[in-house]
Structure 1
Amino acid sequence: MKTILEVEHIATAYGHSQVLFGIDLQIRQGEVASLLGRNGAGKTTTLRSILGLTPAHKGHISFMGQRIEKMTTDKIARMGIALVPEGRQIFPNLTVKENLVAFAANRNQSKRPWSLKEIYQLFPRLAERAGNMGNQLSGGEQQMLAISRALMTNPHLLILDEATEGLSPLVREEIWACLRKLRDQGQTTLVIDKYVEKLIPLADQHSIMERGKIVWHGNSESLTQSPETWQKYVGV
């Protein structure tokens, strides 16, 4: 499998405060990867560096074989990275359907682009709410819409920041089921979430962060055999 994303020893700071210290990350085509760690460990800053929102001042980032660490965020997005941000950030004054079609694109020419019909099959609740405004949706419905909006860009890489944060157990299960379907379809995905037990059967590889560094990396089998490791760095 070819490498889709390669992060090499990046360091990132907010002003004079360094937050990331030599982060390395590699995701291959068709893989699901997780990024784990407590609040403040540096996970979201890592995503912001990949997307050019908070550029790294050291190291290299390559996407689809092209260096992107000096590119603008909009250009990186057009290359085929789609983010489902923490807090969802859907447009409250657009309907569900308008939120979806406004971002439709075909950024991965090797796959047939997502259609509204397929999105509604993935999340039937959105079909029922197609005419509702974004601000009329529950938190769970907003997260479904945020994921669907990202998929409508037909990305090479889908990134979810706090994939199930603040959702009810029932809705969380819907989101996990969706991610399993996407994995089975070959969608390359990077997931940030705290539910390690759900990520172990979903993801191919896992990286654990602490204080701006990767302190552990391995596959699901290794993580299963090291419960003390993720409980130490991720557990409440």
Structure 2
Amino acid sequence: MSALLEVQGLQAAYGSSQVLFGVDFKIAQGEVATLLGRNGMGKTTTLRCLTGQLKPLAGRIVFDGQDVTGWDADAIARLGLAIVPEGRQVFPNLSVLEHLQAFAGNRCGAKNPWTVERVHALFPRLKERSQNMGNQLSGGEQQMLAIGRALVTNPKLMILDEATEGLAPLIREEIWRCLQALREAGQTILVVDKYVKRLIRIADAHTIVERGRVVWQGDSPALDADHSLWQRYVGV
């Protein structure tokens, strides 16, 4: 499989405080990958660089064959990258249906595009709540909506930042089932989350960061075989 995303020597800072010190990883087309590590170790900063919210100090970000290093966020999004942000960030004054309709599009020419109807089939709860405003939804419903909002853009790569943070166990399981279904449909995904035990059942490849550097990379069997990595770098 060819690399859809390749990150090479990524360095980033906030003012005079450097956070990333040469992060490298690849995500192949159709792969589910994770970015793991404790809070404050550089995961969100990496995502901010990938999505154009933060300009890197150095390094390269190549997405779908184009060097997008330093591009603006809207240009990267139009190329086919969507993010489900930490905290969901749904619009309080838009209904569920309006969220999905506002973001729907197939700029990248998907053969079986995600539509509002397909999202309703994936998350029937969103169809039930279609006329409810964003601020009338539970945390789990907001996360479903944030995923649906990303899907209807028909992205080549979907990023989930803190995919199940703050969700009840039953809702977490529903999100995991959703990710498994998306994997089976061939969607390329990058997940940031702390539930390693569930991630190794869904993801193909894993990258662990510690203090802005990559400290381990490997596949699910390798990560499952060494639980000391979980305790040392993820805290589980």
TM-score bin (small chain): over 0.9
State the match for 1:143 in structure 2.
143
Segments of 5+ residues of structure 1 without an aligned counterpart are none
CA contact (8 A) 1:126 1:141 kept: yes
Asked if 1:57 is matched to 2:63, the reply is no
State the match for 2:217 in structure 1.
217
Q: Distance in 2 between matches of 1:176 and 1:18?
A: 34
How much has 1:235 moved relative to structure 2? 1.5
How much has 1:46 moved relative to structure 2? 0.2
Q: Distance in 2 between matches of 1:157 and 1:234?
A: 24
Q: Distance in 2 between matches of 1:140 and 1:116?
A: 18
One-letter identity of the residue aligned with 1:210: E
Asked if 1:8 is matched to 2:8, the reply is yes
Residue 93 of structure 1: SS of its match in structure 2?
Answer: coil
How much has 1:110 moved relative to structure 2? 3.7
Segments of 5+ residues of structure 2 without an aligned counterpart are none
State the match for 2:92 in structure 1.
92
Give 4+ residue runs of structure 1 displaced > 2 Å after superposition: none
Asked if 1:72 is matched to 2:72, the reply is yes
How much has 1:186 moved relative to structure 2? 0.3
Q: Distance in 1 between matches of 2:98 and 2:196?
A: 34
How much has 1:59 moved relative to structure 2? 0.5
Q: Distance in 2 between matches of 1:88 and 1:52?
A: 18
Q: Distance in 2 between matches of 1:43 and 1:127?
A: 33
State the match for 2:153 in structure 1.
153
Asked if 1:117 is matched to 2:117, the reply is yes
Q: Distance in 2 between matches of 1:176 and 1:55?
A: 32
How much has 1:113 moved relative to structure 2? 1.5
Q: Distance in 1 between matches of 2:169 and 2:228?
A: 25
CA contact (8 A) 1:107 1:156 kept: no
Q: Which shifted more, 64-73 or 176-185?
A: 64-73
CA contact (8 A) 2:9 2:23 kept: yes
Residue 103 of structure 2: SS of its match in structure 1?
Answer: coil
How much has 1:115 moved relative to structure 2? 1.4
Q: Distance in 1 between matches of 2:231 and 2:223?
A: 10
How much has 1:116 moved relative to structure 2? 1.4
CA contact (8 A) 1:32 1:191 kept: yes
Query: How many correspondences in the alignment?
Result: 236
Identity of aligned residues (%): 61
Residue 70 of structure 2: SS of its match in structure 1?
Answer: coil
Q: Distance in 2 between matches of 1:160 and 1:122?
A: 17
TM-score normalised over the length of structure 2 = 0.98
How much has 1:107 moved relative to structure 2? 3.0
Q: Distance in 2 between matches of 1:63 and 1:106?
A: 18
1:184-235 CA-partner distances (Å, limit 9, x unpaired): 0000000000000000010000011111111000000100111101211102
Residue 102 of structure 1: SS of its match in structure 2?
Answer: helix
Residue 74 of structure 2: SS of its match in structure 1?
Answer: helix
Q: Distance in 1 between matches of 2:168 and 2:161?
A: 17
